[in-house]
Chains A and B, each alone.
Chain A
Amino acid sequence: MVCQKMAASNESGANESGNSTNSDPDERLKKLYPAVNEEETPIPRAWSAKDKFNYLVLTQNNLRVQYKGAGKTHKDAASVRATHPIPVSCGIYYFEVKIVSKGRDGYMGIGLAAQGVNQNRLPGWDKQSYGYHGDDGNSFCSSGQGEPYGPTFSTGDVVGCCVNLVENTCFYTKNGVNLGIAFTDLPHGLYPTVGLQTPGEVVEANFGQAPFVFDIEDYIREWRMKTRLTIERFPVIDRKGEWQSALQRIVSSYLVHHGYCATAEAFAKSTGQNIDEDIASIKNRQRISKLVLAGRMGEAIEATQQLYPGLLERDSNLLFLLKCRQFIEMVNGSDSEVRGSALRSPRSQHGGSNRSSPSRSPLHHSHRPTQALQHGPHSGNTSPSRTKTHTKSSLASLQPYPSLSSSISSSCSSPTVNSSLLHGNGVTHSNKTNNQSECSNTKTFSEENLNVANMANSSANGVVLNGSDARLIEDIEMMDGVLPESRDHVTNGTSNGSETNGQCLNGSSVMDCRDDDMDVDPPISRRQLCGGSQLAIEKMLQFGRELQSMSIRLKKEHGNNEANRKQLQDAFSLLAYTDPWSSPVGAQLDPVQREPVCAALNSAILESQNLPSQPPLELVISQTAQCMKLMSKAGIATSAFADPSDYLH
């Protein structure tokens, strides 16, 4: 799903503008207010049919308001509020009102009001009510006395109202022109509101479902940047070097946790950190992790039992998880039990995940399964097509986790394109064998793009491009001497290179890392149940029966376990399809799914050694994410513009 959409938007060339004319109103709102959790704080989408004075009539899905009262004096004024108050987590909230008709006198007010404010009045006249009036252009700040504010407005004009929940200010726009701050020190919890007073007055609201006249995205962009700078420039007093050593400890413990043995050792040495775990133990865990990530579950279970006797016996749920995965890998043709017959070299199997890390924080992969699956079929083998899949989708900003997997067709003709895939982390790109070909016109990927690509691989080789244009690119030396024309190739090189790095760091000495190592998913032609071997299928079925009985035993011993039941059911469902990979449950087969299993096993091992089951770095990230949620609940609007995932790649 995701993948297709991204590809489509790329073709249409909607690149950076962020103004993609996507028609789905909900998507538009989501993009405007990504930090809002609508289950807790819904975004207003219409005027409230209940929360209005009865002189007003709503039509057009409760977006259009018409005055039907007597309209003789100001006592005939009538207002309506939106269905919900403005969520603080919007950060910056905006709505527009088009004046369909000014009616008799055009006594119209547009603004904000708290719940419970008298509806028999125009916005701004009462406490907790704020309005901008069309007849005189005055602003009314909780007072019957207006202040000169802006121009008047009338039929055909579009008036916008923007609430900055960070500064607690409000400004209006008229036909896309910012009229300047109207109100300061606004309380939270205000509703969008309009008020009308004379017959014939008709206005219609746009709460963000349709494109706005004013360029609110640009305004939001500025606040996003301001927030980012505040974070980046946050002063840290660190006279004793405690801050630095804490950071180093976090890095060191992360490396140890995930078993980057050699890197951890080198890092510890150069920074003077201690490693709490002995090297042999790290290497053991590393070995097991690698087996899991390669899909060789049987061997992984065996190794665990050997190295950590009693661990799996004590934690039968974990064992069950591992065995379920083993079953899946058998279907996949990856597990050692079936692999011999599938005639696949162990070497080509190892790349279960392309990430240089065997297991990263689970935070990262929420979107990947479907995406990766979609990718499998059309990206597998060396295709003679000239498609260069290199470009990040413009919609990436929509997604919490930027992915690099969408394709753009290049108009340049490069003689041979050998497309190999880095797949596990969603990086899809081809490796051009002809470096010289100058296809500068394909360099539509943004710097951010390069950035993400690099960051994804940078943990090892330290090549980081700064993503934002707004900042000086300080490590420019790296770019020096590299002509822009060859940049696309550089990215390729870096990615591949870091694959190498990652593996070397893992400590395994003999890892041959050519491109052919990276075709993680078996190409379509090789995609057969259990690798196509009859013997293996029988083994798999036998294993399935054992798994079934284990499940029954567990149920007897420990009672019903919903997670286990579901796991088993999902795993077995694979057999119901002739082509499990493209079945609705096929996502399980994706190598990415090995990562949570790997993480669970790794954590269990560490816990059994009385070490923390989660590295401090991941703890910090989760705590930060939690903190953002709390901030948003506590009405701190800046939280809308800071997303921890912006800092993770």
Chain B
Amino acid sequence: MEIDDQGGWFDTLHSDEPEKWQDALLWLKNSVIGNNKQKQNAINHGIIPRLLQWLVDGDAPQHLRLEAAIIMGSMAKGTAENINTLVEEGCVSVLLKGLKSPDQAFVESCLRCLRTIFLHNSNCGSLIYQEPSIVEDLVEIMPRSVCTQECVANILASSCKEPEHQSKLCECGLIPKLVDLLAGKVYKVQMPVLKCLAGIVRENGENCVVALTAMHNNVPLPDMLVQLMLRDRTSEMQIVAAKVLAYLCGGGALAPQDPRIISKTLPCLIRMCSRDRTLEENVEGAETLAYLLEQDGELQRVAAVSDHIIKTLAEYLKYTDVQQINRCGKRIDINWGIEMKQAAFKAFAALGANEESIRKQVIETEHLMEYVVVGLNSGNMKVAAAAIRCLHSLSRSVQLLRTTIQDHGVWKPLMKIIQEGPEELLPVASSTLCNLLLEFSPSKECILDCGAISVLVNLAARPEPNLRLNGIWGLMNLTFQVEQKVKTKVVESIGTERLFRLLSDPDANIVMKTLGLLRNLLSNKLHIDHIMGMYGNQIMQAVVFILEGEHPIQVKEQTLCILANVADGDKAKDLIMGNEDMLKKLMNYMQYQPDVSLQIAAVACISNLIWSGEDGACARQAKLSEMGVQTLLQKLLSTTDTVLFEKVRTAVQQFS
């Protein structure tokens, strides 16, 4: 074709000769079909804005508008660059407006173009929510023809990212319509419909309930999905059907023990992880499996013995290839080494979440720990995050903490990520750190040397409750039966002010852990006197503050235990004995019938105060006797609770 000719055609399109436009459009259509060079050429000739003019102009002859829409659809099948140009020129909103046309062929052409754009440009998703009526129109148009079904399902599937999107789509009555389409047997409609369903129910409990009750011909959606997971369906279909079911389970709509989950979805996902599937399916299968398994211990137990899944996942760790794949006609480089590794780590984390025996099996995977350490060091966010999750899951095992985890010095990269790594990894990383700081963990010392205290203290000051919790939790763990200088250092670092602020944290868990920290600090006589000597008044104030406040029983019990610890200190005792108000409180708790645990804690405290043989024991006994404690104890001897009885008897015996 002569270049000059082309120029002529383009000129015609831009000219004021309407009678020639039709032919020119026809030429353009034929020239760009399947020819990326010509597409680029046309774009260079400024054809996109010209086409958009026709599309916008409702008064333009309909046949020209139709041609324009078809050509637009053709352009969208070009390179990623072409698509970006289309998006930048604003054609999405123009095409969306075109959907209001009564001309079915025109609507379908617009939809085809939109579908292609949405499939390739993930940023377009939110555009359909700009005007409230667009989504309604789309849902309304959807059932009209196979073309509209396929295109709208694809568009909506790529536009369901945020919870607001999910709610909006559900409000439009999309779910039952999707279910009807799913019952049709048209594969190219069923696939986007499944993807759309997956998007709309993902982590959305309300939508899950709607989807669960949706039916077609009295067949509920989950049963239809089970049919789509049959083994002679395509892998693509099986996996996305399994995904929807996994999301329904995750959203609480289906119980993990439902046969459709445990004996259909689970084996389907396990199949997808096997070697005879594509790498893409392996990754998606393992990730979805991880998601599903997090729900339930029984699922984990069944999965762990299914089809050698642990060995299969271990193979994932060995992949190193970077490969091109062809996704929707576009070549994309995918580092399968990374994808496979992170998927395997996630699945391992889920498998070992609850059961020690499974953890043991996982850890026996050859070189797993090396891979985890490499993953932690990899600098790739995805892999590092998954590796930490895996490590976190494994760190719940006492035995592994003492052995494998220690042997591989995983604390080093972990501390590095916490100190220098990205913010997103902090919650799971700090949570893992808490486990590594447990008293039986041999890593504890090294981590302390590495500056753990300041790391945790900083966390405890964070505005995010989960990070505060992890910080204080870590401090609690590391102060358990630790030498005094560490305790002092902790108290100095965190400062009494912040410590007491944490005691009034709105999160009860944080209050509990803070009390736990105090209790750990106040253990063993010497330490008690030392710390109470420095902070006695503040601590007593805090105790009073909690006992008088509105708190759950466990919090009060923990506080009474702290008091009992204080009562164990030689000098610290005086802080209680000198506080009659406090003693009265204790006596009240001794008689607190609704919950025996508070009675036990209070008696333990009294018992410590009157412990015979200690300096000044007689005086304390006399004082408490005088207040009626002894009588009270005698009364409590009639208790039916054996633990309480033991405590009371011990206390009574102290009175000589």
Contact = CB atoms under 8 A, between A and B. Distances in A.
Contact of B232 (A176, A222, A447, A472): A222
B182 to A, nearest CB: 12
A470 B232 contact: yes
Given A221-B232, A225-B232, A177 B145 contact: no
A476 interface: yes
A151 B147 contact: no
Given A174-B305, A469-B185, A480 B232 contact: no
Interface string B206-229: 000000000001000000000100
Contacts of A470: 232-234, 237
B448 interface: no
A150 B305 contact: yes
A224 interface: yes
A150 B147 CA distance: 49
B596 interface: no
B321 interface: no
A178 B184 contact: no
Contacts of A440: 217
A627 interface: no
B408 interface: no
A639 B237 CA distance: 27
Interface in B382-440: none
A238 B186 CA distance: 32
B27 interface: no
Contacts of B145: 480-481
A257 to B, nearest CB: 35
Given A218-B230, A222-B232, A476 B305 contact: no
Contacts of B263: 176-177, 215
Contacts of B306: 177-180
B551 interface: no
Contact of B231 (A179, A219, A479): A219
Given A178-B267, A480-B147, A469 B302 contact: no
A218 B187 contact: no
Nearest to A446: B185
B308 interface: yes
A472 B187 contact: yes
Given A469-B185, A479-B186, A180 B307 contact: yes
Interface string A448-486: 000000000000000000001111110010011100100
A471 B232 CA distance: 10
A16 interface: yes
A180 B232 contact: no
Could you say which interface size class chain A belongs to? 20 to 34
Interface in B93-146: 145-146
B341 to A, nearest CB: 22
A23 interface: no
A151 B184 CA distance: 42
B307 A441 contact: no
Contacts of A179: 305-308
Nearest to A481: B145
Interface in A466-514: 468-473, 476, 479-481, 484
Contact of A222 (B186, B187, B231, B305): B231
B188 A177 contact: no
Contacts of A524: none
A479 B185 CA distance: 11
A441 B308 contact: no
A290 B186 CA distance: 40
Interface string B229-262: 0111110010000000000000000000000000
A471 B307 contact: no
Nearest to B234: A470
A180 B187 contact: no
B186 A178 contact: no
Interface in B275-321: 302, 305-309
A479 B308 CA distance: 44
Contact of A473 (B147, B186, B233): B186
B445 to A, nearest CB: 36
A159 B153 CA distance: 43
A221 B231 contact: yes
A181 interface: yes
Contacts of A469: 185, 187, 233
A16 B267 contact: no
Contacts of A218: 230-231
B115 to A, nearest CB: 15
B230 A221 contact: yes
A298 B549 CA distance: 110
Contacts of A151: 305
A472 B146 CA distance: 14
Contacts of A480: 145-147
Contact of B146 (A181, A225, A441, A476): A476
Interface in B78-98: none
B305 A177 contact: yes
A178 B273 CA distance: 14
Contact of B227 (A16, A150, A176, A177): A16
A441 B232 contact: no
A71 B145 CA distance: 72
A257 B308 CA distance: 57
B305 A225 contact: no
A476 B186 contact: yes
Nearest to B235: A470
B308 A180 contact: yes
Contacts of B233: 469-470
Contacts of A150: 305
Interface string A169-186: 001001011111100000
Contacts of B308: 179-181
Contact of B307 (A178, A215, A225, A468): A178
Nearest to B302: A177
A201 to B, nearest CB: 23
Interface in A310-340: none
Contacts of B227: 16
A469 B191 CA distance: 12
Contacts of B230: 218, 221
A472 B188 contact: yes
Given A177-B302, A181-B308, A484 B184 contact: yes
Nearest to A479: B146
Contacts of A468: 232
Select the residue from A215, A441, A470 with max chain B CB neighbours within 10 A: A470
A369 B42 CA distance: 67
Contacts of B232: 221-222, 224-225, 468, 470
B147 A225 contact: no
A179 B311 CA distance: 12
A218 B268 CA distance: 11
A447 B185 contact: yes
A416 to B, nearest CB: 25
A151 B232 CA distance: 29
Contacts of B231: 218-219, 221-222, 225
Contacts of B267: 177-178
B296 to A, nearest CB: 15
Contacts of A219: 231
B470 to A, nearest CB: 36
Nearest to A480: B146
A20 to B, nearest CB: 15
Across the A-B interface, give the 8 residue pairs with the lowest CB-CB distance, nearest first. A222-B231, A180-B308, A225-B232, A180-B307, A221-B232, A447-B185, A218-B231, A221-B231
Given A180-B308, A441-B217, A447-B185, 18 more contacts: A16-B227, A151-B305, A171-B307, A174-B305, A176-B263, A179-B305, A179-B306, A180-B306, A215-B263, A219-B231, A221-B230, A225-B231, A470-B233, A470-B234, A471-B187, A471-B234, A472-B187, A481-B145
17 contacts: A150-B305, A174-B305, A177-B263, A177-B267, A178-B267, A179-B305, A180-B306, A218-B231, A221-B231, A225-B231, A444-B217, A468-B232, A470-B232, A470-B233, A473-B186, A476-B146, A480-B145
Interface of B: 145-147, 184-188, 217, 227, 230-234, 237, 263, 267, 270, 302, 305-309
